């Protein structure tokens, strides 16, 4: 064998190794549900909703009992997933465009209303590594009133090869709302089409087309955001079910929407099985914030846009190759998805990007532990709550309300529903956590509200 033959043989081996490495990259399917409460799944306590596909997904991977969204409203939570950074750091701290409260006691800061191009988002990191990337569903990361100026802030300008349905909307609008016709980018539909089903058609088609490529499917549902609309046959089913009088939940339309969500998840998972790629696919399921009603928050205090657990604690499931099924009570945050996906995919972490996230791989593989850390929330805005900040450190959670500096302290291990405010009984613990919270705000340059010179209690109360 001469030198030329040896060299060619070596190149062939290198090429084969490269192809095998490419083939070994796991696919990623990310399910993000809008306004989805912690207790809306049958596996998490609801005896009215039917969610067999999502329940099976939870059982086949790691379910985090203390998994959190980064904010109690949607746009900041969504940005935190993509960036791996806290809303307080990116200054994208409210749903876009937020509420106007000109006579409130505090003036909100001049915050960021778009997904910036600085830095590398996790879909961009996967695209750099050769992944095909698809965004399907709700985006809501650009100003609603500046659509023409902000065209380069749509999903296709942030690492996604295609955008199906993503625009400035925070909820479906138009003539049909959740039914045909849909005024959404790159979508077609026909009479009778239901939005969740139609988006799923595109998701399944993307998987079919890219089954031989490593791919990212980022399926960001509009459901179960209002206005509540569901398929008539499912609504009728849950009306009859509720009439039995056995159930505390009593909204058949919401339940029908949840079933359509579950069927959508099932269709995507079935397609992975059908193509023989399920065992090489990372699947993540979570929500952007709590449900609108406390009935769907699994007994937690609060709901969407409120400062307590019901607004931020979410279903948080991860399955994939090498992941041992189980339940983890370690507190984790949506900012952790970015480094976790890279780590599970065998890609180098980007520590300068996902600054507020850590890889959960040691927990998923049962190969180690996470270093103890605190989790933070920053909401310098008015919604159904007043501006506040919060910290969870160990089992304790402190909430600071910015208008008057009042504090609430809870022991989540023994009081998950936050019924007993311990701030006065445990002043040293409250002081410790408040000091940590203030230091964190300085470290990330979090924007704070300021005294409003136009404060008018009478006008504010009327509004």
Question: Would you please indicate which residues are annotated as catalytic (active-site) residues?
Answer: 74, 140
Cβ(79)–Cβ(115) below 8 Å = yes
Distances (CA, A) of 443 to 86, 89, 356, 392, 440: 12, 9, 12, 17, 5
Distances (CA, A) of 82 to 138, 160, 354: 13, 12, 9
Q: Which residue from 200, 276, 263, 202 is spatially nearest to 233, judged by alpha carbons?
A: 263
Surface-to-core class of residue 355, CB atoms within 10 Å of its CB (0-12 exposed, 13-18 middle, 19+ buried)? middle
Strands 162-164 and 450-451: unpaired
Distances (CA, A) of 162 to 22, 72, 359: 22, 28, 27
Own/partner long-range contacts of 400-408 (Cβ < 8 Å, ≥24 apart): 400/434, 400/437, 401/307, 402/106, 402/448, 402/449, 403/105, 403/106, 407/434
């Amino acid at each position: 064998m001469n030198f030329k033959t040896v060299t060619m043989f070596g190149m062939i081996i290198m090429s084969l190794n490269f192809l095998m490495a490419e083939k070994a990259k796991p696919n990623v399917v990310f399910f993000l549900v809008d306004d989805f409460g912690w207790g809306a799944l049958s596996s998490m306590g609801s005896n009215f909703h039917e969610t067999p596909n999502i329940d099976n997904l939870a059982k086949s991977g790691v379910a985090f009992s203390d998994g959190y969204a980064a904010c109690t409203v949607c746009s900041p939570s969504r940005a935190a997933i993509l960036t791996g950074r806290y809303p307080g750091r990116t200054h994208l701290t409210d749903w876009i465009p937020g509420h106007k409260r000109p006579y409130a006691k505090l003036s909100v800061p001049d915050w960021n209303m778009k997904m910036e191009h600085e830095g590398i988002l996790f879909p961009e990191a996967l695209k750099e590594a050769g992944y095909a990337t698809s965004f399907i569903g709700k985006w809501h990361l650009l100003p609603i009133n500046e659509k023409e100026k902000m065209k380069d802030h749509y999903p296709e300008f942030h690492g996604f090869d295609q955008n199906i349905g993503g625009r400035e909307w925070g909820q479906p609008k138009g003539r049909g709302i959740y039914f045909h016709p849909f005024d959404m980018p790159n979508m077609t539909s026909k009479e009778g089409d239901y939005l969740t089903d139609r988006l799923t058609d595109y998701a399944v088609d993307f998987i079919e087309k890219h089954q031989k490529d490593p791919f990212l499917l980022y399926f960001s549902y509009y459901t179960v955001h209002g206005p509540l609309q569901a398929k008539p046959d499912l609504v009728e089913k849950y009306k009859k079910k509720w009439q039995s009088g056995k159930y505390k939940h009593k909204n058949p339309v919401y339940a029908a929407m949840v079933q359509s969500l579950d069927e959508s998840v099932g269709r995507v998972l079935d397609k992975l099985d059908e193509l023989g790629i399920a065992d090489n696919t990372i699947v993540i399921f979570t929500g952007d914030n709590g449900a609108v009603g406390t009935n769907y928050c699994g007994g937690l205090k609060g709901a969407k846009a409120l400062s307590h657990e019901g607004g931020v604690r979410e279903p948080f499931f991860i399955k994939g190759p090498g992941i041992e099924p189980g339940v983890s009570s370690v507190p984790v945050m949506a900012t952790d998805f970015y480094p976790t996906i890279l780590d599970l995919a065998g890609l180098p972490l980007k520590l300068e990007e996902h600054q507020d996230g850590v890889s959960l791989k040691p927990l998923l593989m049962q190969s180690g532990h996470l270093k103890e850390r605190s989790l933070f929330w920053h909401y310098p805005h008015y919604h159904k709550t007043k501006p506040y900040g919060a910290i969870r450190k160990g089992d304790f959670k402190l909430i600071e309300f910015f208008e008057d500096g009042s504090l609430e302290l809870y022991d989540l291990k023994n009081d998950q529903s936050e019924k007993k405010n311990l701030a006065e009984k445990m002043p040293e613990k409250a002081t410790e956590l408040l000091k940590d919270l203030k230091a964190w705000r300085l470290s990330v340059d979090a924007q704070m509200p300021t005294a409003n010179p136009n404060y008018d209690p009478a006008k504010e109360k009327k509004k």
